[in-house]
Chain A
Amino acid sequence: MTDLTDLTLSETLKGLAEKAFSSVEVTTAYLKKMEEKRHLNAYITETPEVALKMAEESDNRRANGQAGKLEGIPMAIKDMFCTKGIRTTAASRILSNFIPPFESTTTQKLWDAGAVCLGKTNTDEFAMGSSTITSYFGVTKNPHDETRVPGGSSGGSAAAVAAHMCAGATGTETGGSIRHPASFCQVSGFKPTYGRCSRYGVIAYASSLDEPGVLGRSIEDCARMIEVMMGHDPKDSTSSHRDVPAFHTMLDKTIKGMKIGIPKEYTELVPDNWEKAIQFLKDEGAQLVDIDMPHTEEAGMVYYVVSQGEATTNLARYDGVRYGVREEGKTLDEMYMNTRMAGFGQEVRNRMILGTFFTSAKGYNDYFVPAQKMRSLIKQDFDRAFEKVDVLFSPAVPIKPFTIEEAKHGAAKGRFNDNYLMPSCLTGVPAGCANNGLQVIGRMWDDATVLKVLDVVEMMK
């Protein structure tokens, strides 16, 4: 019999519908694979008992003719999504004992559609990083070369997808944290338009940037997951009322006549398959247009100021009083101090300290607000580009995964690590990475076209 973990999410759905196998069988196969590949450290918490119970319930629903859109599909959840009754840590010691009494909206939607929870995946602490080395639970290894990092911050999810330790996974982006590990692990990743997915129950890093999204073995798999996760949520005031199309039915395998922009600022360094990709798009009948995005260079600076300022505010809540780890002290202040010193890793502490400057009176007026104005200029670059073209096309991350040792010595701070990813996070436009490392970015709310083009890009041999 075929190894059930070799099937894509879409193929698994087909097999389940045809009763070729049950959700319990496919879930059991994934649990076995998780055990075999445990040394990769892709998961922080495995939930085999929950998974088998959910799979059994799923099989019962299917037998009763009540199959949801992801009925019986075993999924991994980044440990930034609160899951009711299942430990949720943000890969931080400070939340290492936190059992949420509530469920994030997006994961609830997945369970309502029939998905099965395999466990919670590793990430950089509070999603701050692009290698998973800042995780309190240790680094995740890249399944393609175990001396290398999987990228990040959703590195556990990307590794789990690449190593067939789940059929698909959730991720979050703040500055590129889905597309970066997708590129490093050669899987597909998609972050929708800001406001498409509710942030309720997703542990906050920088609220004006944070976005839930997905990682899968193909863009079709991503489309199937993300269309379930999207939709209005009264618990998130920045959640849109727009209708959610059935994206996976809109992947019509053609880009003939489409105008695809190539921003010159995104081609300063390109991967080996770049020229071939350009030729492929032309052969598929797309019209390629050169585009200028003059403020691209500023995205890293704006991200630095805005994300740290917002992080300081969001992380103030970890006080050792209401949840998480507490380290005792003689006074309240001493207890706060002891708790936060013991609970947060150095990267997180540093970002909070510097973020404080940007939210102080001087830092706010001289740096934070001007950086937000620069953010408007970056957005104008996109607005102008989309007057001329349907989507933008570029590499996602033009460098190869660095080694774990290199990551410990600051490799992730290199300029080409995330400068093709950050502008689309700052502006909230939909963007994705195909499983060959190529990126498509679209207009606000036009998630469908991004997915459609990415799906074609994955046809490139």
Chain B
Amino acid sequence: MTKIDKDTIKEMAFWVRVRIPDDEAAKMAEEFTETLSWIGERLKNPEIQTVPPMVTPFDEQIPLRQDIVTDGHQVQAVLSNAPDATPEFFCVPKMVE
């Protein structure tokens, strides 16, 4: 059985770059452990060993195309919603002193 503790929840929160207070993380860990136990029971069904995983409902051939730019040279459009930008670049907080 998979047991999820508070620290695991906090680590996962960090991976998706959000914060979660200790008490909420503890509550989520408890609830998620229970949910995983329920899911685990459902997935014990031996039938699942007889089929492949279904990744998409799309049942046609997914096309390939040349790896070339088809809509480039739109710097202004790309930057138009940036919270902070120079005429050609996105700006982020200073990373190297």
CB of A353 within 8 A of CB of B16, answer yes
Q: Is A369 an interface residue (CB 8 A)?
A: yes
State the Cβ distance, B47 to closest chain A Cβ, in Å.
6
Q: Which residues of A contact B54 (CB under 8 A)?
A: 372-373, 375-376, 379, 426
CB of B93 within 8 A of CB of A367, answer no
CB of B81 within 8 A of CB of A99, answer yes
Contacts A194-B58, A301-B39, A376-B51; is A324 near B81 (CB within 8 Å)?
A: yes
Give bound CA distance, A102 to B47, whole Å: 45
CB of B77 within 8 A of CB of A325, answer no
Q: Is A23 an interface residue (CB 8 A)?
A: no
Give bound CA distance, A427 to B56, whole Å: 8
Closest residue of B by beta carbon distance from A344 = B18
Contact string, A421-440, partner B, CB cutoff 8 A, digits 1/0?
A: 00000111100000000000
Give bound CA distance, A105 to B10, whole Å: 39
CB of A367 within 8 A of CB of B43, answer yes
Closest residue of B by beta carbon distance from A294 = B47
Q: Which residues of B contact A377 (CB under 8 A)?
A: 45, 47-48, 51
Contacts A101-B81, A322-B82; is A333 near B51 (CB within 8 Å)?
A: no
Q: Is A305 an interface residue (CB 8 A)?
A: yes
Q: Which residues of A contact B81 (CB under 8 A)?
A: 97-99, 101, 322-324
Give bound CA distance, A377 to B42, whole Å: 13
Give bound CA distance, A374 to B56, whole Å: 13
Closest residue of B by beta carbon distance from A326 = B83
CB of B28 within 8 A of CB of A353, answer yes
- For window 1-32 of B, CB contacts with A under 8 Å fall at 2, 4, 8-9, 12-13, 15-20, 28, 32
Give bound CA distance, A367 to B48, whole Å: 12
Give bound CA distance, A102 to B20, whole Å: 35
Name the contact of B38 in the complex, choosing from A301, A341, A371 (C-beta under 8 A).
A301
Give bound CA distance, A337 to B42, whole Å: 35
Give bound CA distance, A305 to B32, whole Å: 12
CB of B28 within 8 A of CB of A350, answer yes
Q: Is B59 an interface residue (CB 8 A)?
A: yes
Q: Is B68 an interface residue (CB 8 A)?
A: no
Q: Is B92 an interface residue (CB 8 A)?
A: yes
Q: Which residues of B contact A349 (CB under 8 A)?
A: 13, 16, 18, 20
State the Cβ distance, A357 to closest chain B Cβ, in Å.
6
Contacts A316-B16, A336-B17; is A194 near B57 (CB within 8 Å)?
A: yes
Q: Is B95 an interface residue (CB 8 A)?
A: yes
Q: Which of A149-157, A182-190, A235-243, A280-288 contacts B (4 or more CB under 8 A)?
A: A235-243
Q: Which residues of A contact B53 (CB under 8 A)?
A: 369-370, 372-373, 375-376
Q: Is A332 an interface residue (CB 8 A)?
A: yes
Closest residue of A by beta carbon distance from B20 = A353
Contacts A331-B93, A372-B54, A376-B54; is A195 near B45 (CB within 8 Å)?
A: no
Give bound CA distance, A372 to B57, whole Å: 11
CB of A366 within 8 A of CB of B2, answer yes
CB of B90 within 8 A of CB of A340, answer no
CB of A341 within 8 A of CB of B43, answer no
Q: Which residues of A contact B9 (CB under 8 A)?
A: 353
CB of B62 within 8 A of CB of A356, answer no
Closest residue of A by beta carbon distance from B35 = A304
Q: Which residues of B contact A99 (CB under 8 A)?
A: 80-81
Contacts A208-B57, A356-B12; is A374 near B18 (CB within 8 Å)?
A: no
CB of B90 within 8 A of CB of A321, answer yes
State the Cβ distance, A241 to closest chain B Cβ, in Å.
7
CB of B12 within 8 A of CB of A357, answer yes
Q: Which of A234, A337, A427 has the most CB of B within 10 A?
A: A337
- For window 280-335 of A, CB contacts with B under 8 Å fall at 298, 301, 304-305, 312, 315-316, 320-326, 328-335
Contact string, B54-66, partner A, CB cutoff 8 A, digits 1/0?
A: 1111111011010
State the Cβ distance, B58 to closest chain A Cβ, in Å.
4
Q: Which residues of B contact A102 (CB under 8 A)?
A: 77
Give bound CA distance, A369 to B53, whole Å: 6
CB of A321 within 8 A of CB of B17, answer no
Give bound CA distance, A377 to B16, whole Å: 31
- For window 194-238 of A, CB contacts with B under 8 Å fall at 194-195, 208, 234, 237-238
Give bound CA distance, A337 to B20, whole Å: 11
CB of A353 within 8 A of CB of B95, answer no
State the Cβ distance, B64 to closest chain A Cβ, in Å.
9
CB-CB nearest 5 A-B residue pairs: A428-B57, A372-B53, A323-B81, A326-B83, A101-B77
26 interchain pairs (CB within 8 A)? Answer: A101-B74, A101-B78, A101-B80, A102-B77, A194-B58, A312-B16, A324-B81, A328-B93, A332-B93, A332-B95, A352-B16, A353-B9, A353-B28, A357-B12, A357-B32, A367-B36, A367-B40, A367-B43, A372-B53, A372-B54, A377-B45, A377-B47, A379-B57, A380-B51, A428-B58, A444-B59
